[in-house]
Structure 1
């Protein structure tokens, strides 16, 4: 009985060691090797006043340009960063995509022929919005707090 117990312990430890020695992570998918894409042009300029400019162009037709500067808002503690740039590449369908953007205190504002455009506002809704704009604004009604007296 003692020998059987020891054999079970050795068997258990052997199986545990085998399980612990197996690879712990699954390997990711293997992709076919591709040829490195050359960088044809790359420029970068960073200045002490907060302005910068960089650009690059790759051998597969991707290009990007960006520049930025600090916009004076009148308050030296709260200056605004303005970034302007453009990117272009060829889509898998063979269409040349060009994106031009500005990012400032009003947010990111992209433009490009490939971006969706807001549909026109229906005539009746626009009519209602125009009518509402002609009405005088009404003050908010006063907030009445509940009585603190209990009867």
Structure 2
């Protein structure tokens, strides 16, 4: 679980990497509990990252952290992109206008 929390934090930092303009943190909150966490980060460039996770089946061999969240950012042309996601035992599952969806077979 600690690895996933560190991974999510590093992912948030990667999205918040400096750009051509000075970007500052507008808001940052996090709460880590024994059975999960919540976190959000808002930057002055409009980037917004929200994430929460809950420990499922704690204390068993099937223990897993189920995460859900979203991130919003503007590309260099100024278009705003929002990606919603879930991550856990079924893998990383992003959804958004910019993510292609496979046709139903």
TM tier relative to shorter chain: 0.7 to 0.9
Q: Displacement of 1:53 after TM fit?
A: 0.7
Seen in structure 2, the aligned counterparts of structure 1 residues 60 and 118 have a Cα distance that, compared at 3 Å, is same
Q: Displacement of 1:54 after TM fit?
A: 0.6
Match of 2:42 in 1: 57
Given the two structures, how large is their TM-score scaled by the length of structure 2? 0.73
Structure 1: 4+ residue segments shifted above 3 A: none
Given the two structures, how large is their TM-score scaled by the length of structure 1? 0.52
| 2:23 aligned with 1:37 | yes
Between Structure 1 and Structure 2, the one with more strand by share is 2
Unaligned runs of 5+ in 2: 1-19
State the superposition RMSD in angstroms: 1.8
Match of 1:95 in 2: 79
Match of 1:86 in 2: 70
Q: Secondary structure of 2:54's match? A: strand
Deviations 1:74-101 (A, max 9, x none): x723311101110000112221100000
- Count of residue pairs the alignment pairs up: 86
Between Structure 1 and Structure 2, the one with more helix by share is 1
- Retained in 1: the 8 A contact 2:36–2:65? no
Higher relative contact order (CA 8 A, sep 6+): 2
Alpha-carbon separation, structure 1, partners of 2:99 and 2:52? 22
